[in-house]
């Protein structure tokens, strides 16, 4: 049944025919072509589809279009006036409140309705007001600041100007070290930024996947006849129709087929793919596909799965379901424990969590008639998708173009080739028209690739003065059905422990075990947050036993610059001690620790991470990051072409800052084209916190090459020796007489006129030979390591067990912060995500392996209402291997959080929780057990 309705959207009258079931969201996106309103969960839980209906915020996914008849709708496209941003948009841009930008339209509209209702809000009211708009990137902190600033703008007040002290290493720079708004922020604030799902190609159809409804079975038969005869269905593929080439993430463990061949191994395994004229028809067709399963015994618990006789997921590999086994021993563990005055051990259990970027995975594939395919996708890793597609499709790289659109967050969820990317291509090839495929939120959970749940036995030996003599760790990682990143996760779980403290003797036993659950993969901090939680918890317990302050024991053992760890990792810059000192002072630690009333607690945790993996995921000798800069013929703009991916963290801006600094121009003279395999040179993408250091070095090098060329042209014009010229602030001047200069653009124009294109190129490869020679020595290597310390203060309701995180004080050694505002954004986002993981998140399954909380209604992530006050400091540091001294922040900032919260809770209630998440129920149980 169709209805002809009239509605007013952003002041424009629309007359449209809608079906009874069409949501306002789909009407706006598909019929009005207003794609600034985003699709995040379709169930009213996430708020990214927020629009104003007669001035009130609503989730447009749960409003029927037909009910918008005669109503006034305001979408993000209606906020700005001509060229002028609305004051709220301006505040969001300036304050760094926009990262991936996927929640931004809804967030801005909710801010509008809120400030219309309440023109004098306090911070708590703002936090409450935005709690229906989930954000996974920012930790809400900068958003809350933006709302305050927006309110000042709306009232004609000048917002408070905050003076920031630059880092010592950034003093002499003009672009690097500056708090500049992201280049893409205005587009994201206005809904202009295009994400994959916003693209509609002519003649495009849609695809969906049939997921296994059983946890473990042999596929006896698949009957697609009924589905095929449904009007609108174009093509259906099953395992028999696709290649026998298996794929995955790590070459030694390519154990997935594009579609299940003979077996399904978890509820959610992919059985068939359908393409039809629209998603609705796909959903209907999926119901008509008949699959006959022969169910097999299942195993969901990794400890059970390792036992002899347990059901096997793979008959031909992974004995006892052990998918990866690591056995590392550095130094002499027995001698180390013999030297200890105190040895303490404990068991810890992590939680199965998932990235939940606000944007679901989407891909669109289109073949041309020359045998070439173009894929638009929301990915972190254009190159690895490119490489994997080449393998699977048996096509040279040159016949495949992978374009990353704007990406609405990743955190590891989009760090490998996913089935949508492959199947959209296969379906598109078969039918001859472009195919769009999209996960809904439930499918994201079932696809999995979230954090491995780890079962950890940690043992630490110390001298009476707190000096660590030995550490032994055993970790069992619950891996789910396939390998994904798991081999790397298992190594990382062990290899990163010795990077924070001096550990002379270390033994690590790692096991990754397959179970009939969605596969686990790489999530922010990849494999290391749970071991870090265990270690930081146990170290604080040991400090209590030997009567030492928790910060003192960390200072005693803290990593020092220019150290080779026991597992052969080379640490260069390291300011962990400075981080510890900052948070000790800022948090008022010495006044609070041990002195807070019952139910209040303070805790410390430390962290750190690699600044990019030392080696690629598959063997190659390509430089890891590559850049080309092309300067316009009139010198007005330099365009940076970079293969690395801005997934919201702001790398386009940060890399442009590095390039601009190197060239001597300002950021407004830059534009960036990133992550398009046809246009940009190879870059490994956004994973392992690699982009700032590696992409930054490549961009800087390309910029320096440009600078050399413009200096040559300027020298000729000014008649000054090249060595006497400097490039800075869009000028080239004589260092002995700054008045003797020519504009940078003029020099560039001169160069072009005489020599043709002004182009610079740069590349970066990590130093050769990083790491040791033992098996797995490559994992954990990096050109540089970040360090951080966080103090957390909590309040615990002693009668219900509920934990409220009040404050975080964080100090981070990220080398030179190329953009301190972006660094703070990473830290704040990591704190809130870490807090959310520590207190709220866990995937839960029933006894048949079916996930019980595969939505944002039951799998809770932190809202703005939980956001603590965050004080973050970037300590003075300089990394010689990084561009302008820079290294990573995005993942390292997650690492201290779990331990800091666990330690604060233990301080508040006098008893420790060993298992994540730290739910009110566990806390109350612990309190009661202690008092009994």
Contact residues toward other proteins (CB under 8 A) are 1, 3, 19-23, 42-45, 47, 50, 53, 56-59, 62-64, 66-67, 110, 113-114, 128-129, 131-133, 279-280, 283-284, 440, 442, 799-800, 802, 804, 840, 844, 852-853, 857-858, 860, 862-866, 919-921, 924-925
By beta-carbon proximity to other proteins, the closer residue of 824 and 842 is 842
Sheet with 737-743, side-by-side order of all strands: 725-728, 731-734, 737-743
By beta-carbon proximity to other proteins, the closer residue of 19 and 600 is 19
Enumerate residues 6+ apart whose C-beta is below 8 A from 538. Answer: 344, 345, 346, 348, 458, 460
Q: Please state, in angstroms and as integers, the Cα–Cα distance from residue 127 to each residue in 151, 791, 822, 868, following that order.
A: 14, 22, 21, 10
By beta-carbon proximity to other proteins, the closer residue of 290 and 921 is 921
Give the three-state DSSP class for 696. helix
Q: How far is the CB of 133 from other proteins (least distance, A)?
A: 8
Q: How far apart are the C-alpha atoms of 53 and 71, rounded to whole Å?
A: 7
Q: How far apart are the C-alpha atoms of 275 and 255, rounded to whole Å?
A: 25
Q: How far is the CB of 1 from other proteins (least distance, A)?
A: 5
**CB contact at 8 A, 520 and 415:** no
Q: How far is the CB of 798 from other proteins (least distance, A)?
A: 10
Q: Is the peptide bond before 721 cis (omega within 30 degrees of 0)?
A: no
| Residue count (the chain) | 932
**CB contact at 8 A, 657 and 175:** yes
By beta-carbon proximity to other proteins, the closer residue of 273 and 456 is 273
Residue in this structure with the two tokens 């979230």, named with its chain if needed: 450
Q: How far is the CB of 79 from other proteins (least distance, A)?
A: 17
Q: Which DSSP string corresponds to 184-222?
A: THHHHHHT-SPBGGG---TT-EEEEEEEPSSSSEEEEEE
By beta-carbon proximity to other proteins, the closer residue of 131 and 243 is 131
CA geometry: angle 660, 637, 626, nearest 5 deg: 55
By beta-carbon proximity to other proteins, the closer residue of 430 and 925 is 925
By beta-carbon proximity to other proteins, the closer residue of 442 and 704 is 442
**CB contact at 8 A, 485 and 770:** no
By beta-carbon proximity to other proteins, the closer residue of 192 and 922 is 922
Q: How far is the CB of 854 from other proteins (least distance, A)?
A: 10
Sheet with 50-53, side-by-side order of all strands: 12-19, 2-9, 72-74, 50-53, 56-59
Q: How far apart are the C-alpha atoms of 82 and 868, rounded to whole Å?
A: 37
Q: How far is the CB of 805 from other proteins (least distance, A)?
A: 10
Q: How far is the CB of 119 from other proteins (least distance, A)?
A: 16
Q: How far is the CB of 522 from other proteins (least distance, A)?
A: 26
Q: How far is the CB of 106 from other proteins (least distance, A)?
A: 9
Q: Cα-flanking dihedrals φ and ψ of residue 872, to 5°?
A: -120, 140
By beta-carbon proximity to other proteins, the closer residue of 502 and 798 is 798
Both ends of the chain: CA-CA distance in Å?
65
By beta-carbon proximity to other proteins, the closer residue of 522 and 926 is 926
By beta-carbon proximity to other proteins, the closer residue of 19 and 391 is 19
Q: How far is the CB of 862 from other proteins (least distance, A)?
A: 7
Enumerate residues 6+ apart whose C-beta is below 8 A from 921. Answer: 801
Q: How far apart are the C-alpha atoms of 459 and 508, rounded to whole Å?
A: 10
Q: How far apart are the C-alpha atoms of 653 and 564, rounded to whole Å?
A: 33
**Of 671, 663, 640, the residue nearest 745 (C-alpha):** 663
Q: How far is the CB of 596 from other proteins (least distance, A)?
A: 21
Q: Cα-flanking dihedrals φ and ψ of residue 128, to 5°?
A: -65, -40
Q: What tokens were used for 259?
A: 């579609």
Q: How far is the CB of 23 from other proteins (least distance, A)?
A: 7
Q: How far apart are the C-alpha atoms of 646 and 379, rounded to whole Å?
A: 10
Q: How far is the CB of 210 from other proteins (least distance, A)?
A: 13
Give the three-state DSSP class for 15. strand
By beta-carbon proximity to other proteins, the closer residue of 241 and 279 is 279
By beta-carbon proximity to other proteins, the closer residue of 109 and 742 is 109
């Amino acid at each position: 049944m169709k209805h002809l309705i009239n509605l007013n959207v952003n002041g424009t009258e629309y007359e449209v025919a809608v079906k009874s079931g069409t949501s306002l969201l789909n009407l706006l996106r598909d019929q009005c072509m207003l794609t600034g309103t985003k699709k995040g969960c379709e169930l009213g839980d996430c708020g990214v589809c927020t629009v104003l209906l007669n001035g009130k915020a609503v989730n447009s996914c749960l409003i029927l279009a037909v009910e918008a008849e005669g109503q006034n709708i305001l979408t993000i496209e209606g906020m700005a006036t001509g060229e002028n941003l609305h004051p709220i948009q301006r505040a969001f841009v300036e304050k760094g409140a926009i990262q991936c930008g996927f929640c931004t339209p809804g967030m801005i509209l909710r801010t509008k309705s809120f400030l219309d209702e309440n023109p004098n809000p306090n911070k708590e009211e703002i936090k409450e007001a935005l709690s229906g708009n989930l954000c996974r990137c920012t930790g809400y902190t900068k958003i809350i600041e933006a709302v305050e600033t927006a309110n000042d703008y709306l009232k004609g007040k000048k917002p408070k100007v905050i003076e920031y002290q630059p880092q010592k290493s950034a003093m002499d720079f003009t672009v690097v070290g500056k708090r500049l708004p992201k280049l893409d922020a205005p587009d994201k604030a206005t809904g202009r930024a295009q994400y994959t799902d916003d693209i509609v190609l002519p003649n495009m159809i849609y695809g969906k996947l049939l997921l296994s409804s059983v946890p473990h079975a042999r596929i006896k038969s698949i009957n697609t006849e009924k589905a095929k005869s449904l009007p609108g269905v174009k093509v259906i593929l099953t395992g028999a129709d696709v290649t026998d080439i298996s794929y995955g993430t790590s070459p030694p463990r390519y154990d997935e087929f594009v579609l299940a061949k003979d077996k399904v191994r978890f509820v959610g395994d992919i059985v068939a793919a359908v393409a039809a004229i629209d998603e609705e028809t796909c959903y209907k067709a999926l119901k008509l596909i008949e699959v006959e399963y022969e169910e097999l015994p299942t195993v969901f618990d990794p400890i059970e799965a390792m036992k002899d006789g347990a059901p096997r997921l793979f008959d031909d590999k992974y004995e006892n379901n052990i998918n990866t086994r690591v056995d590392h021993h550095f130094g002499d563990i027995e001698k180390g424990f013999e030297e200890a005055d105190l040895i303490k051990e404990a068991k810890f259990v992590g939680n199965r969590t998932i990235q939940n970027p606000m944007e679901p995975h989407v891909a669109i594939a289109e073949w041309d008639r020359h045998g070439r395919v173009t894929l638009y996708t929301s990915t972190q890793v254009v190159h690895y998708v490119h490489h994997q597609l080449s393998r699977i499709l048996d096509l040279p790289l040159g016949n495949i173009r992978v374009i990353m659109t704007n990406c609405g967050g990743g955190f590891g969820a989009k760090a490998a080739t996913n089935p949508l990317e492959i199947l959209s291509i296969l379906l598109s090839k078969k039918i001859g028209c472009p195919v769009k495929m999209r996960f809904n939120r439930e499918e994201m959970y079932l696809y999995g690739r979230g954090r491995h749940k780890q079962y950890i036995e940690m043992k630490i030996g110390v001298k009476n003065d707190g000096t660590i003599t030995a550490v032994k760790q055993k970790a069992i990682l619950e891996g789910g059905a396939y390998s994904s990143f798991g081999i790397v996760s298992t190594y990382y779980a062990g290899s990163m422990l010795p990077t924070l403290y001096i550990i002379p003797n270390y033994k690590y036993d790692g096991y990754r075990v397959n179970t009939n659950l969605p596969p686990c993969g790489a999530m922010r901090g990849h494999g290391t947050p749970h071991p870090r939680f265990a270690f930081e918890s146990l170290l604080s317990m040991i400090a209590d036993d030997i009567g030492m302050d928790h910060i003192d024991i960390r200072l005693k053992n803290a990593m020092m610059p220019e150290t080779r760890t026991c597992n052969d990792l080379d640490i260069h810059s390291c300011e962990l001690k400075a981080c510890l000192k900052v948070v000790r002072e800022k948090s008022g630690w010495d006044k609070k620790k041990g002195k807070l009333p019952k139910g209040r607690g303070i805790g410390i945790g430390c962290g750190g991470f690699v600044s990019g993996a030392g080696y690629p995921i598959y063997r190659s000798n390509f430089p890891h990051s590559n850049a080309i800069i092309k300067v316009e013929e009139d010198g007005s703009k330099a365009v940076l072409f970079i293969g690395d991916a801005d997934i919201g963290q702001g790398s386009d801006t940060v890399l442009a800052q590095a390039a601009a600094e190197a060239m001597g121009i300002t950021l407004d003279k830059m534009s960036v084209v990133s992550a398009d395999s046809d246009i940009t040179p190879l870059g490994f993408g956004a994973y392992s916190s690699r982009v700032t250091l590696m992409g930054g070095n490549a961009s800087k090098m390309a910029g320096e090459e440009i600078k050399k060329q413009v200096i040559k042209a300027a020298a000729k014009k000014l008649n000054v020796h090249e060595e006497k010229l400097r490039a800075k602030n869009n000028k080239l001047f004589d260092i002995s007489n700054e008045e003797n200069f020519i504009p940078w653009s003029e020099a560039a124009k001169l160069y072009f006129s005489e020599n043709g294109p002004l182009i610079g190129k740069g590349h970066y490869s990590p130093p050769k030979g990083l790491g040791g020679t033992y098996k797995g020595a490559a994992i954990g290597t990096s050109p540089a390591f970040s360090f951080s310390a966080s103090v957390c203060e909590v309040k615990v309701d002693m009668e219900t067990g509920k934990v409220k995180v009040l404050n975080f004080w964080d100090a981070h050694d990220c080398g030179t912060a190329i953009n301190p505002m972006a660094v703070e954004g990473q830290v704040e986002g990591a704190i809130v995500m870490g807090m959310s993981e520590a207190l709220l998140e866990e995937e839960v399954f029933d006894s048949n392996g079916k996930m019980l909380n595969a939505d944002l209604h039951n799998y809770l992530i932190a809202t703005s209402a939980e956001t603590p006050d965050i004080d973050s400091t970037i300590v003075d540091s300089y990394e010689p291997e990084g561009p302008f001294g820079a290294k990573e922040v995005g993942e390292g900032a997650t690492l201290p959080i779990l331990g800091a919260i666990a330690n604060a809770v233990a301080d508040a209630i006098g008893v420790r929780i060993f298992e994540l998440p730290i739910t009110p129920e566990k806390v109350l149980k612990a309190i009661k057990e202690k008092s009994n």
